[in-house]
Amino acid sequence: MGRLRDHDFKRAYHKPEDDVAEGFYLPAVRAALTYDRAVGFFSSTIFLLAWPSLKEFVGAGGKMRLICSPILSDGDHEALRDGYSERAEAEAGAAIAESFRQLMASDGMSKPAVVLASLVAAGVIDCKIAWVGDEAGGRPKRLFHDKVGILADRFGDRVAFKGSMNETWPGLARDGNLESVDVFASWRDDGEGLRVEDEAAYFERVWDDQWPGITVRSLPDTAREAIVSAADAGRWPDFVDEICLELEQAARWSAEAGSADGRAPRPHQVAGLDAWEARGRRGILKHATGSGKTFTALCAIGDAFRRGETPLVLVPSELLLNQWEVELRGTFAHAGLQLMVCGGGNATWRDGARLRTWTRPGAQGAPRAVVSTIQTASSEEFRGLLVGGNHLFMVADEVHRLGAAGASRLLTLDTGPRLGLSATPERAGDPDGTKLILDYFGGIVPPPFGLEDAIRAGALTPYAYNVHTVSLDAGERAEWISVTDEFRRLYARSMAGGGDADSGQSARLKLLLIRRARIIKSAKAKVPLAGAILARAYRAGQRWIVYCDDQGQLASVKRAISEAGIADVYEYHSAMVGDRARTLEVFGERGGVVVSIRCLDEGVDIPSVTHALILASSKNPREFIQRRGRVLRRSPGKALAHLHDVIVVPETDDDDAMGGSILKGELARAIEFGGHAVNPGAVADLRRLAAAAGFDWATLTGNGFEADELEEMEMADA
């Protein structure tokens, strides 16, 4: 067991430079006999990192006391504002119980859940819940979010630590959030000894419900019963050993193997990589947005380097090009990676046919890789310089983009291993493009890791779905009818010519569909509704994203939100004035509302976002699935995300054809969102509308179409 003072703990740890887990947390737990922790949120995923320490801690008779915040729905504003009440306690108990049941239902988390349950049942872990009243320090405060820990060993030495670290996977893992922690040791000097005494005394007063403004209660019976019922006193030590072995196997895929602080993939990532390898290292990982596809690919790239291969990473945008460059350089810095960046203003690959030299097989020395935008890589010059062969490992992020006309030229490249990444690899309304992608990459690697899987595994946040309806005004309805009539006339002419439209007719037909969809996305009634929703639902400290269609709608919505009394309103889009990165940084720090156009669809991560309001979404399921994924990313303190969706429904006097077309296009998104939400009843009214229109609810999905960015720009200029 050792003792705490045997370790030369630093006075402060800061990620990513410091490994908080290996440098401080795990050695301290191994040496401790008691552990008291006041923390905003607790999750058993901590034990994915701490299994060996846990066995030593329990074997020595260790005891742990935890003070946590309740997990409450944002919909229960009354309980959150007013602090502790019997109703709030009942809500918290039910939420914790449900969260634990989800852990038990997850393949990757069921063993850790049983271990946690067994330790609670055995009295090793004791947990209490703390509520904060409606005023603390002069501003509303909903959650007990203090973060202090005290560890003591059998010799009387103690360590106290404070900081932004939560006992969650993102709180400790190096691939998680940036965290820091200050450490005080009782034996180091008198000042630190007094600090340890103060923190220990504070914890005792809170634990005994003696601290002003905080109410502390034992774990609610509902939650405790759900947890203890899963206890298995005889098997939990075996589960610990099994998990240790699984973690060792995961380390084989570590993107940073050979680095002292290398990250290890999570269970679903290991399973996906193992299945991909078993298929000859070819295939597409269909994994939910936010579930860690980039890190999964980095693990495969690390394996490719060890095999002497040259990865070629293809991305659809300059934003993702920059992000991948940062990820690749940071992840493989220990290996001395040489990286060639192509596109986005980077043109050195042309100099002296440098790309040809760079991608030749058998290069000696440090590993080499190429990362390029799809636009650059699909050019004739790039493809002519690229040296193909089994040594070339293609990784395609957002692989569905390769099915578009110009990008599909890349599907003729001669490569060895191939890995595609996408939450939605199938191209909506484009079976030919989909077939090209699937044939080239070797199909989708089973099983897919969908949204429900990601939520059960703790990779994404559960969410509530809120539906709001509007209708088109008279002018918009007239325009809808006019565009629809034009589409029908052109379609009839193409059918009269033998059933196949030429390329010009096909493009015009698709543009008409896009134009008609834009009428729905930019419906005037959405602007005042957006202001009303934010005025009613927004609370200080929340982080909202509002998805708009174009600059005009964005300006109007931003004005409506400001008029609703919300001060912190930002815009984020490609044509904005100012620093986009700084805008997101301020938003992440202060909260508020970001009004956006498309720019958050692929590649931008703001895990702290709690709410989304969708005013404009195409019929392409990829777009709204990606937007949902932005909001469901895990973040400390985020127990539940909230989606507000504005659906256009027909007026009662619309003719059947018009009303049916509007409704059919809008319901696909509602079906997808409502079916996976914690409140599936939110779409009950829409189900009734569908039934009244004669639609089969179960068959309404999959009616979308792909709209390439070029076509969108052409439509905007029309």
Q: Residue 657: its pLDDT value, please?
A: 58
Q: Which of 167-171, 296-300, 305-309 has the lowest mean pLDDT?
A: 167-171
Fold of 253-456: Rossmann fold (3.40.50)
Structure confidence at residue 296 as a pLDDT band (50, 70, 90): very high
Q: Are 683 and 674 in contact (CB under 8 A)?
A: yes
Judging by DSSP bridges, how do beta strands 158-163 and 180-185 pair with one another? antiparallel
* Cβ-proximal residues to 225 (8 Å cutoff; 6+ apart), any chain: 97
Residue 69 confidence (pLDDT): 75
**Which residue type does 153 have?**
D
pLDDT of residue 20: 80
> What's the CA angle centered on 295, arms 291 and 297, to 5 degrees?
105
Which of 153-157, 493-497, 537-541 is least confident?
493-497
- The pTM (predicted TM-score) of the whole model is 0.64
What is the pLDDT, as a whole number, of residue 250?
Answer: 67
Let me know if the fold of 253-456 is the same as that of 463-472+522-717: yes
What is the Cα–Cα distance from 425 to 400, expressed in whole angstroms?
5
Of residues 103 and 12, the one with the higher pLDDT is 12
3-state secondary structure of 460: strand
608-632 confidence digits (pLDDT tens): 888 999 998 766 666 777 778 778 8
Neighbouring C-beta atoms of residue 717, cutoff 10 Å: 6
Q: Go through 247-275 and write b for each residue having 16 or more CB atoms within 10 A of its CB, e for each that does not.
A: beebeebbbbbebeebbbbbbbbbbbbee
pLDDT, tens digit (0-9, with 9 covering 90-100), for 22-33: 888 888 988 999
Q: Which backbone phi and psi does 415 adopt, to 5 degrees?
A: -135, 170
Q: How far apart are alpha carbons 199 and 606 in whole angstroms?
A: 33
Q: Output b/e per residue, 109-139; b: 16+ Cβ within 10 A.
A: bebbbbbbbbbbbeebbbbbbbbbbeeeeee
Burial of 611-648, coded b for 16+ CB within 10 Å and e otherwise, reads bbbbbbbbbbbbbbbbbbbbbbbbbbebbbbbbbbbbb
What pLDDT does 351 receive? 93
Backbone angle region of 655, left / alpha / beta, with phi > 0 → left and psi within -120 to 50 → alpha: beta
Region of 658 on the Ramachandran plot (φ > 0 left; ψ -120 to 50 alpha; else beta): alpha
pLDDT tens for each residue of 639-678: 789 999 998 888 766 655 565 667 776 787 788 788 888 8
Give me the pLDDT at residue 84, please.
55
Does 94 score more than 50 pLDDT? Answer: yes
pLDDT of residue 453: 83
Per the CB < 8 A criterion, the answer to whether 217 and 129 are in contact is yes
Kindly give, in sequence order, each residue whose CB lies less than 8 Å from that of residue 459, ignoring residues fewer than 6 positions away. 266, 268, 288, 290, 291, 292, 634
Identify any residues that bridge with 592 across adjacent strands, giving them in sequence order. Answer: 543
Give the domain ranges of the chain. Answer: 4-241, 253-456, 463-472+522-717
Which residues in 588-661 belong to E strands, given as ranges?
A: 592-596, 611-614, 641-648
pLDDT in tens, 109-168: 788 888 888 988 999 989 888 877 543 332 233 445 567 899 999 999 999 998 765 554
The domain 4-241: what is its CATH number?
A: 3.30.870.10
The CA distance from 147 to 71, in Å, is 16
Supply the mean pLDDT for the chain.
81
The whole-angstrom separation of Cα 113 and Cα 47 is 10
According to DSSP, the residues that pair with 523 across neighbouring strands are none
Q: Which fold does the domain 463-472+522-717 belong to in CATH?
A: Rossmann fold (3.40.50)
Contact 515, 598 (CB under 8 A): no
Ranges 252-261, 297-306, 368-377, 690-699: which has the least confidence: 252-261
Q: Give the model's confidence band at 91: pLDDT under 50 very low, under 70 low, under 90 confident, else very high.
A: confident
Q: Which long-range contacts (CB under 8 A, 24 or more apart) does 19-25 make?
A: 19/174, 19/260, 19/261, 20/165, 20/172, 20/179, 20/181, 21/49, 21/50, 21/172, 21/173, 21/174, 22/261, 24/161, 24/181, 24/183, 25/50, 25/165, 25/172
